[in-house]
Amino acid sequence: MAWTETDIPDLTGRTAVVTGANGGLGLATALALAGAGATVVMAARDQTKAAAAQHTIRDAHPDASLELVPLDLGDLASVREAAQAIRDQHPTVDILVNNAGLMAMPERRTADGFEMQFGVNHLGHWALTALLLEPVLRADAARVVTVTSTAHHIGRPVDPDDVNLEGHYKPWGAYGRAKLANFHFGLGLQRELERVGARAASLIAHPGLSDTDLQAHTVAEGGGGASAPFFHGLARLTGMSAHDGARPQLRAATDPAAEGGEFYGPLFVNNGPAVRKPVLRRLGMDRAIAALWQVSEEATGIPLDVAGAQAAADT
């Protein structure tokens, strides 16, 4: 039997934080988690759209426990404020789904001056995860799920000397690099958690080809070139719904049998039921993860201090 959201165990009393919960995969994820009884913190930049998404969830689950938190992953000050707001309300975070992202957009910078796709897709989530580590580690067997893409296969590891791709930015190349960073982050975080014997686990997931507003946004911005309309049309014709595309990240976040370091995605590469996928380890991956850690700490000024967070959580 294929895994579906009906397999999600009872999450009553648990807190889930979902980035980008105002639409697409994030909304589908928040909807399923709320339906299973979790208190869902919907962290999103567009609060008008987030309020509409909140109404959508309440239409399906009138008793859903939902909170809206403003979060602009392209602004580290906003990330700090969002993390503080979450910590103030929730001493424990049982599920963190790093879902939000941008795809193949024209060259742009974050509020802090970083290449936008890397800044939003990775650096913003690095900072949020680091700032929420204490409540994550205080929870009973929490899960951190970072959403990557099949595009991570075309990505190159971040170069500490070329973080912003100055003078040679290419929208799809930057997207692949950001999604590879998500892949490496999920695996690297699991190593750090294992190093201190934490109960929490880090997993990665990808949605395959899903028909969400991500493709439409890429076409509208014109950053994806001639291939963007093609992929948009392909997603509309053959892609999974956001509901189906969210299942890999939902399974990674909730399946009692899932373990840290695992990777979930559609069975048939970009389509099909949510299954565990092999983690393909490229030559030099350890060096790439080390470089990502160096860049991320230097860029954000926020160390991912698992040991320190574990000590604080234990007090």
pLDDT tens-digit map of 80-118: 999 999 999 999 999 999 999 999 999 999 999 999 999
What pLDDT is attached to residue 219? 45
Query: At 144, is the secondary structure helix, strand, or coil?
Result: strand
Does residue 238 carry a pLDDT above 70?
no
The CATH class for the domain spanning 5-314 reads alpha beta
The answer to whether the beta carbons of residues 179 and 280 sit under 8 Å apart is no
Please compute the mean of the pLDDT values over residues 259-282 and round it to a whole number: 93
Q: Which pLDDT value is given to residue 218?
A: 54
Instruction: Reply yes or no on whether 175 is catalytic.
Output: yes
Distances (CA, A) of 85 to 70, 213, 237, 309: 9, 28, 41, 18
User: In a 3-state reduction of DSSP, which class is residue 19?
Assistant: strand
Mean pLDDT of the chain: 93
Catalytic-labelled residue, pool 175, 231, 264, 293: 175
Q: What are the residues whose beta carbons fall under 8 Å from the beta carbon of 36, sequence distance 6 or more?
A: 5, 8, 9, 10, 11, 254
* Upper half-sphere CA count for residue 302 (Cβ side, 13 Å): 18
Q: Is 216 or 262 the better-scoring residue by pLDDT?
A: 262
**Distances, alpha carbon 116 to alpha carbons 53, 73, 172, 180, in Å:** 25, 10, 13, 15
Place 223 in a pLDDT band, splitting at 50, 70 and 90.
low
